[in-house]
Structure 1
Amino acid sequence: MVSQTITLTNGSGLHMRPAGVLASAMAPFASDVTIVAAGKEVNAKSLMAIVAAGIKCGTEVEVRCEGADEQAALDAAIQLIESGLGE
């Protein structure tokens, strides 16, 4: 398992559009990808799970990946979050 903690800087948090970008980007990876924020653990491949978590701007999130391509999945997730998830 690999993980990295990052602060969400997307101004609107993980609402529908950026959550969809993240979930779509994580779907092709074989690894399990989990977002941990404010005591909640959610599947980063599930749009509805991400939106339901209500993760706001400024929240520190941990991205955890476990599986055959875990490092590639982690790198992709961190890069997306750092880039603002298309916003």
Structure 2
Amino acid sequence: MIQFEVTVTVEGGLHARPAALLVNRSAQTQSKITLNKGEKQVDGRSILGIMTLGATQGDKLLVSVDGADEETVAASIQQLFEQSFQS
């Protein structure tokens, strides 16, 4: 299992568009992905779950990736956050 912290840099936070990009990237993997904000924990494959985190710009999230391709998936998710969800 790989765990790392990311900062939400997207203006407006993890609203529908960035949440959808994250879900699309998560759907292409075999690994289990979870996002934590404080006491809330959600499935990284659920757009509604991600949006219920209420993550706004500047919030820090703990991301956990567990599975056969976890290293590739973790790097991909980190890149998505680092690039502020720009393709």
User: What count of residue pairs does the alignment treat as equivalent?
Assistant: 87
Residue identity (%): 31
Deviation at 1:21, TM superposition (A): 0.5
Q: Which runs of no fewer than 5 residues in structure 1 stay unpaired? A: none
> How many Å separate the matches in 2 of 1:86 and 1:14?
13
1:48-87 superposed matches below 5 A: 48-86=48-86
Q: Which runs of no fewer than 5 residues in structure 2 stay unpaired? A: none
| Partner residue, 2:36 | 36
Q: When the two structures are superposed, what TM-score results if normalisation uses the length of structure 2?
A: 0.93
Q: Which portions of structure 1, spanning 4 or more consecutive aligned residues, are displaced by more than 3 angstroms?
A: none
Q: When the two structures are superposed, what TM-score results if normalisation uses the length of structure 1?
A: 0.93
Deviation at 1:86, TM superposition (A): 2.7
Deviation at 1:38, TM superposition (A): 2.2
> How many Å separate the matches in 2 of 1:33 and 1:44?
5
